[in-house]
Amino acid sequence: MKAIILAAGMGRRLQSVSNGLPKSMIKINGKSIIHRQIESCNQVGIKEFVIVLGFKKDILKKHILKKIPVENVTFIENPIFDKTNTLYSLWLTKDYFDDDFIYFNADVLFQKDLLKKISDETEYSQLLLETKSCAEEEVKMILNDDMDIIEIGKKLKIENCSGEFIGVGKFNLDVLPQFSKYLDHGIDNNQENNYFEYAVNLLAKDVILKAVPTNNIKCIEIDFPEDLKAAKKMFSH
């Protein structure tokens, strides 16, 4: 199994506290977000990485290589990172859809226990769900009684949703041909600036994707300065 990390974005909303660096390099109590992510992967046996770079790619690449041997990581450049979003960045990684992989963005901070919940051999691909009442801007999930994902996206009726997709999931090899097809569909239909959940929503209508509750294991997406403040408190050691 490998990890695919999308780290191309500028993090515009955090530029006031990032000193102009990629937001994945922001330190949480002495350790950068992306270094924490890499360590969590290593602790559950994930040693191979595919990482999409864009904003200040050379600086970020050098930083990442402090934690990963160069032979264990493939770097992919998104040359239009300022005009595209996660659907396009993930589409760029399709040539490496040759094994099960864990997916996450480089601004999600989590405990390794979350990866343990989805890194074991399971029949179905899985997305981590924080069970809660969601806000309008959050990526939400509608589930059936078997925890199958029926719909995923931001524009779902809140009252129909079971919670928020926290941006971490595992995709098994058997669904990757279909997943590639729906990423292609997004690019063919001018969705380069859309989120990768656009393709996941289509995939959920074709295969079984399971939602796995986080059960209050620590996790936070860092988009705003207030998120950074909360993350430092949440991950105080």
* 78-96 pLDDT tens trace: 999 999 999 999 999 999 9
> What's the DSSP call for residue 133?
P
Q: CA of 44: how far to CAs of 165, 175, 212, in Å?
A: 21, 22, 17
Identify the pLDDT of residue 237: 67
Number of neighbouring beta carbons within 10 Å of residue 98: 10
Residue-wise DSSP of 169-201: EEE-GGGHHHHHHHHHHHHHTT-TTS-THHHHH
| β-strand pairing of 48-53 with 2-7 | parallel
* 96-126 pLDDT tens trace: 999 999 999 999 999 999 999 998 778 899 9
- Give CA 47 to chain center in angstroms: 17
Which domains are delineated in the chain? 2-234 (3.90.550.10)
What confidence category does residue 15 fall into, taking pLDDT thresholds of 50, 70 and 90?
Answer: confident
Nearest to 3 by CA among 79, 80, 106, 85: 106
Tell me what the pLDDT averaged over the chain comes to: 93
* 184-200 pLDDT tens trace: 999 999 999 999 999 99
Q: Taking the model in full, what pTM does it have?
A: 0.94
| β-strand pairing of 101-105 with 2-7 | parallel
Token look-up 């925890």 returns 147
